[in-house]
Structure 1
Amino acid sequence: MTRLDLGIPGLRRDPAAPPSTVGRPDVPGLVDRFGRQARDLRVSITEKCSLRCTYCMPEAGLPAIARDDLLSAVEIARLVHIAVRDLGVHDIRFTGGEPLMRADLAEILARSSAVAGGASISMTTNGIGLDHRIRELVDAGLTRINISLDTVDRDHFARLTRRDRLPAVFAGIRAAKEAGLTPLKINAVLMRDTLAGAADLLAWSLENGVRLRFIEQMPLDADEAWARDNMVDAAELLDVLGGRFELSRPHRDDPSAPAEEWLVDGGPATVGVIASVTRSFCEACDRTRITAEGTVRSCLFGDEETDLRGLLRGGADDRDIADRWRAAMWVKQAGHGMGRTDFVRPKRSMGAIGG
């Protein structure tokens, strides 16, 4: 199979032909045509992962990206610096694939933290191996962490991820808690075969003092098995959780935050629900993404990509890179469009885009 077959297309934009900026106001931030401004940067640093979750990765994994095609620690830090200093970004999150698969992760964090000013430095991970590296990562500047965990049933975990590694994830969670990375958030993708265990996962989260967020599954799986009529939506999840817990006062602490938070049994504990498909929050989206190969991706569901790596390696100055980034975000689409009859799923899978 080719890279395109498994969701890693070639560049959508030639560096010599930037997106049109007709009508764009002369402002420094990453604004788009719909009045949104991107302040949250997601940086994918690898396509590799230690798991093979069915909603993300093919069983054999994604095709390897040549080492020279990945952004280096120095290049990543330069983009972080431009984003914070020139473009109004104030949250930096490193993703994958699995960030812990990069041997130079601590260097990436340290170099980025050194130029990030007051921006937060966080990471989304499956937690495998985190217990062995947590100290160096915190020392390098890691301030927050999200850990992916869809079930606390070991058999279900092994089937879903195609790897029997649940104890290793638990070890990573314990290490993050002991290192003081709080609030520690747990991300769980809603799947039909794990819905029955959703209440158990919430009970475990409450017992362990972590903040659980359920996420509706999106059509970003490399196997392209997602079907709208078979997905578990937020309403069905809330019915299941409501059979065991009292959920009340749904709210959002931040209008641009994707999770709707519910008080559990009167609070103060909460459970979050990210209804990416059925209760779209695209109109408040404030994210910009850099893929592991150094392209700007303005939307999870938009295949248009703008190359920054070529500029980084071609001698462009920071001003040119910032302008190209602004142009890429100006043409961001209105939303994912999953409710339309002409919806076409993106060519990249989640593992190839970065979560």
Structure 2
Amino acid sequence: MKAQPPTLTDRCNLRCVYCMPAEGLDWLPTRQQLSTSELQRLLRVAVNKLGIEEIRFTGGEPLLRGDLPELLAYASALDPRPRLSITTNGLGLSRKATALARAGLDRINVSLDSVDRATYAAITRRDRLADVLDGLIAARTAGIHPIKINAVLTRGVNDEQAPELLEYCLAEGFELRIIEQMPLDAGHRWDRSAMVTADEVLSRLRQRFQLTADPRPRNNDPAERLLVDGGPGTVGLIASVTRPFCGDCDRVRLTADGMVRNCLFANEETDLRSLLRDSGQDPESLDDAIAARWRESLWQKAAGHGINSPTFLQPTRPMSAIGG
């Protein structure tokens, strides 16, 4: 496996309509969440014993976790050094971008579904667009690169704004990634017929831009990249529902309470927290035991997510608790 997205917290300071209810969710108690030292141990095992080459810190909202710079600095000192990234809503980025870059952050994904203030507020239930835009500029100034924008389009809300999002990203030097809405909402109200598909996105973008296939190999990138007006600007489509790429997926997820999920849509998890907290083994034996349990979870990974199967069951945990 090349990538490990650990979820640092299930808490978030936005309430996006496709993710969670306005009142929020029942957050994990602090005692159930992994401590700084526990996370550091798992990061070390992932890199040194499992060969993880990239670590992406996610949430919830990872910037709400005060030890994020410490975790980045620890991970950047591992040998071999993994590539380090975060996925964030960007609300606190203007204050923290410089510290994160100094701690070792290489790249960043910022969730931004609209550059229209009213639409952004309607989607997130917070009037915070200006803070996100300021955070993006702060990240660029701090030397973080690339900066990718993750956008989810909702029919009748922002599906007509894809061209404006792309224009903004091209002007600022950011890379837009448009993601099909997936069945990971807390209310389990996802409706495939209401989902804006990758084909629909392409049709709308092609009304304003010339899009051609990016000749660079996609490898394990979840996004299908397209050159915009011949390049160098690009736009990416992550079509997990209509164009599954499960055969090329190289990610394993670690939740904030120490459970391994070998697929974003898995309904089973592997408990590492109990090993961390209840074992009387010596440190090296404990690391080996953690690695063995982790590998066993990976070997049980299903061939595909099964969204298009009539027997598909949406995961019990919402996206905010799983991580991207």
The alignment's TM-score, normalised by the length of structure 2, stands at 0.95
What amino acid sits opposite 1:191 in the alignment? T
Looking at structure 2, the residues matched to 287 and 122 of structure 1 have their Cα atoms a distance apart, in angstroms, of 14
Aligned to 2:118: 155
Q: 2:161 aligns with which of 177, 180, 197?
A: 197
Distance 1:294 1:109, change over 3 A: same
What amino acid sits opposite 1:336 in the alignment? H
Aligned to 2:16: 53
Matches within 5 A, 1:1-355: 38-115=1-78, 117-192=80-155, 193-250=157-214, 253-315=217-279, 316=281, 317-355=286-324
What amino acid sits opposite 2:291 in the alignment? A
What amino acid sits opposite 1:83 in the alignment? A
Deviations 1:283-326 (A, max 9, x none): 11100010000010101111110110111112341000000000
SS at match of 1:286: coil
* Structure 1 residue ranges without an equivalent (≥5): 1-37
Shift in Å, 1:116: 5.3
Distance 1:291 1:252, change over 3 A: farther
Q: Is contact 2:218-2:225 (8 Å) kept?
A: no
Looking at structure 2, the residues matched to 302 and 309 of structure 1 have their Cα atoms a distance apart, in angstroms, of 18
Looking at structure 2, the residues matched to 309 and 107 of structure 1 have their Cα atoms a distance apart, in angstroms, of 20
Looking at structure 2, the residues matched to 116 and 70 of structure 1 have their Cα atoms a distance apart, in angstroms, of 26
Looking at structure 1, the residues matched to 303 and 70 of structure 2 have their Cα atoms a distance apart, in angstroms, of 36
Shift in Å, 1:217: 0.5
What amino acid sits opposite 1:326 in the alignment? R
Shift in Å, 1:86: 0.8
Q: Is contact 2:98-2:139 (8 Å) kept?
A: no
Relative contact order higher in (CA < 8 Å, ≥ 6 apart) = 1
Q: Is contact 2:8-2:58 (8 Å) kept?
A: yes
What amino acid sits opposite 1:238 in the alignment? L
Looking at structure 1, the residues matched to 194 and 211 of structure 2 have their Cα atoms a distance apart, in angstroms, of 25
Instruction: After the TM superposition, list the runs of 4 or more consecutive aligned residues in structure 1 that deviate by more than 6 angstroms.
Output: none
Looking at structure 2, the residues matched to 143 and 57 of structure 1 have their Cα atoms a distance apart, in angstroms, of 29
SS at match of 2:63: helix
Q: Is contact 2:218-2:224 (8 Å) kept?
A: no
Q: CA RMSD in A?
A: 1.2
Identity over aligned residues, as a percent?
A: 52
Distance 1:116 1:310, change over 3 A: farther
Looking at structure 1, the residues matched to 194 and 218 of structure 2 have their Cα atoms a distance apart, in angstroms, of 30
Distance 1:58 1:116, change over 3 A: farther
Looking at structure 1, the residues matched to 150 and 79 of structure 2 have their Cα atoms a distance apart, in angstroms, of 25
Deviations 1:25-58 (A, max 9, x none): xxxxxxxxxxxxx221000000111111122222
Deviations 1:262-288 (A, max 9, x none): 110111111001111000000111000
Q: Is contact 1:42-1:95 (8 Å) kept?
A: yes
What amino acid sits opposite 1:92 in the alignment? I
Q: Is contact 2:62-2:87 (8 Å) kept?
A: yes
Looking at structure 1, the residues matched to 28 and 79 of structure 2 have their Cα atoms a distance apart, in angstroms, of 27
Looking at structure 1, the residues matched to 272 and 306 of structure 2 have their Cα atoms a distance apart, in angstroms, of 27
What amino acid sits opposite 2:287 in the alignment? D
Looking at structure 2, the residues matched to 253 and 95 of structure 1 have their Cα atoms a distance apart, in angstroms, of 26
* Structure 2 residue ranges without an equivalent (≥5): none
Looking at structure 1, the residues matched to 21 and 256 of structure 2 have their Cα atoms a distance apart, in angstroms, of 18
Q: Is contact 2:98-2:142 (8 Å) kept?
A: yes
Q: Is contact 1:81-1:116 (8 Å) kept?
A: no
What amino acid sits opposite 2:190 in the alignment? W
Looking at structure 2, the residues matched to 125 and 140 of structure 1 have their Cα atoms a distance apart, in angstroms, of 16
Q: Is contact 1:289-1:299 (8 Å) kept?
A: yes
Looking at structure 1, the residues matched to 34 and 193 of structure 2 have their Cα atoms a distance apart, in angstroms, of 39
Shift in Å, 1:338: 1.3
